[in-house]
Chain A
Amino acid sequence: MPAGLSSPPRREKPAEGPPAQGAAHLMLGPGKRYWKDRIIRGLLFLAAASSVVVTTGIVAILLAESMVFFRQAPLWEFLTGTNWAPRNGHFGILPLVSGTLVTTAVALAVALPVGTIIAIYLSEYAPFALREIIKPVLELLSAVPTVIYGYFALLFVTPQLQKIFPNLQTFSMLSAGIVMGIMIIPYVSSLSEDAMRAVPMLLREGAYALGANKMITSIKVVYPAALSGIGAAYILGISRAIGETMIVSIAAGTGPRLTWNPAEPAATITAYIVQVCQGDLPHGSVGYQSIFAAGLTLFLMTLGFNILGHILRKRFREAY
């Protein structure tokens, strides 16, 4: 380029004139690269937004089928009736709700104390090596398929319990609840431990300086400081227990029954849904719509707990 050589070395000049051919692809702004990036960004956004479509689908189908159901079943009877046999015109959901609450309560009576103590032990007491081994082993408890837990509850735990309580029936909410509690231990312990380990060392050292031992420090300092995280863990456990299906379908019985006695058999909301689906279920029948109404009840119960857990978790993250 002889012309370029003759002109004085002014750097601004090429930018003022028309761009040289070689420089065109270096220009910023809408080029091929830019549009490719935009398109990919759009596709990735669609993937993320698809999760909203799933939620919409769930809510829409639950509401739509429940609306049809509530045309036959008065809402008041649904909420307060004590007899659930939708195909015979009895629409009170309370027996299913009581079954769900009792099994959940039994499960929590097992999982909350055991899970909390494990969390305190792993976070405050256990040596590093033990923690590294025991955590994956405990997490296997939540990895075991629930249908296997159902088998275990029905054919191992119930016979063992019958040795202690001879009057216990083959199907009982007690054994289903206990096994469910064992299953949710890792949900409780893992998140609780994370919350307790997030408590700053300074708080513990303060307690030790005042002469507290590890137990007092754990219970009076670390536990309260991590309470919102631990609360979130508890709520996750509750929500799992409410939605758990196979253990209760197999071991807790399938007849709706309004009772608060854990030693009796009773169907939960989830067990009812599975049991109805096992048989002949024509699309559009009352039975078909009733499982969506039951599902909506279940969805609202877990949604409430999930939202509460979300709020608690957010608070625990912001605490320190």
Chain B
Amino acid sequence: MKPTEKNHPPQIDTARLIARRKRQDLVFNILGVVCMLIGVVTLGALLFDLAADGLSLVNWQFLTSYPSRRAASAGVLSAWVGSLLLMLVTVSLAVPLGVAAGVYLEEYARKNWLTTVIEINIANLAGVPSIIYGLMALGVLVYQFHLGETLLVGGITLALLILPIVIVATREALRAIPNGIREAAYALGATRWQVVKDHLIPYSAGGIATGTIIAMSRAIGETAPLALIGALTFVAFLPPAPVQSRFPFVNFKWLNSDFTALPIQMFNWVSRPGADFQHNAAAAGLVLIIMTLSLNAAAIAIRYRLRKRIKW
């Protein structure tokens, strides 16, 4: 208790205090905007840098040529075809498995230790670095099961990698459906499976699709696991076509084909000395980032439409 403080006229103090507090707020406001700009500007610089180095190379010839020793005539045909086929394997494995697991955990599972173990396990799998999945694929799929360094193994690896994302997306979509829907269906005598199949899955399809597309955009850019299982960097052929003109119209030989993928091709080009191949890397990166960003845009568009349409 100092007497001087007590005698101090209070009005001046308050005015100064208010001014100081307002200044603080302004400073913090600016700080927040600056920090957001750091993120946004970096993203812009990255896109600009890629485009500046690679845009002039992205043309029809680049998309339809095989890699080559000479930078000028090298292209990404085998890489983007490999990436698309990989996504085909990945999605057709991860979506059924992930949705089934999500449905089980959200709609069927009783609260017991087994469920808890599975839930903790999935949360933990989501945090395992992708390179560890690559090690697992290399040790188990390539050398224990002798599946070879093929599209199938690459697809399985990426599918396991995105499985937790699909499961979480499914669970969140299911959780958003009001209980009244389930109860109404049960009241009409539906079994649990009928409720799931006829009501819950159709209503959560949009949310599941959003999650799956986000997961795909992550999988398509994954490099480390594919580098580990030995995706080749010099592939001057295409896998056998998945469709054919003769009966039964599909064949699965392509699953056992060696492959490369866009991020692998880009990694290979980045690692080479010399500006020529680095321009090729930028061009491959541009193709890759266009794929990634359009997947993300699709996910955002679906989410936006869902939010507008669904009103429980």
Q: Give chain A's interface residues, CB within 8 Å of chain B.
A: 33-34, 36-37, 40-41, 43-45, 47-52, 54-55, 57-58, 61-62, 64-65, 113-114, 117-118, 120-122, 125-126, 134, 136-138, 140-141, 143-152, 154-156, 182, 185-186, 212-216, 218, 236, 239, 242-246, 249-250, 270, 273-274, 277-278, 283, 291-292, 295, 298-299, 302-303, 305-307, 309-310
A58-B118 contact given A65-B139, A126-B32, CB 8 Å threshold: no
Interface string of B6-39 (1 = CB under 8 A from A): 0000000000000001101101110111011011
Query: How many inter-chain contacts with C-beta < 8 Å in the A-B complex?
Result: 263
Contact of B131 among A143, A270, A303 (CB under 8 A): A270
Complex contact B221–A145 (CB within 8 A): yes
Residues of B near A185 (CB, < 8 A) are 38-39
Tell me whether A292 and B135 are in contact in the complex, defined as CB-CB below 8 angstroms, given that A54-B125, A120-B32, A303-B124 are known contacts. Answer: yes
A interface secondary structure, majority:
helix
How many chain B residues have a CB neighbour from A under 8 Å?
Answer: 88
Residue among A54, A242, A243, A305 with max Cβ neighbours from chain B (10 Å): A54
- Do most interface residues of chain B lie in helix, strand or loop, or is the interface mixed? helix
Q: Which residue of A lies closest to B135 (CB)?
A: A295
Instruction: Jot down 17 A-B pairs with beta carbons below 8 A, ordered by A.
Output: A45-B109, A54-B160, A54-B163, A58-B135, A114-B39, A138-B39, A140-B43, A143-B296, A144-B46, A146-B221, A147-B266, A151-B278, A212-B21, A245-B224, A274-B131, A277-B228, A299-B132
B50 interfacial by beta-carbon distance below 8 Å: yes
Alpha-carbon distance between A244 and B130 when the two chains are bound, in angstroms: 8
How many Å lie between the Cα of A65 and that of B138 in the bound state?
11
B270 touches A125 (CB 8 A): no
B-side contacts of A55, CB under 8 Å: 121, 124-125
A50–B53 alpha-carbon span in the complex (Å):
44
Find out whether the CB atom of B278 lies under 8 angstroms from the CB atom of A48.
no
B175-183, B203-211, B280-288 - interface stretch: B280-288
Complex contact A117–B35 (CB within 8 A): yes
- Listed from nearest, the 5 A-B pairs whose CB atoms lie closest are A243-B129, A145-B221, A121-B32, A47-B100, A44-B104
In the complex, which residues of chain A have a beta carbon less than 8 angstroms from the beta carbon of B136?
54, 57-58, 61-62
Q: Is B237 an interface residue (CB 8 A)?
A: no
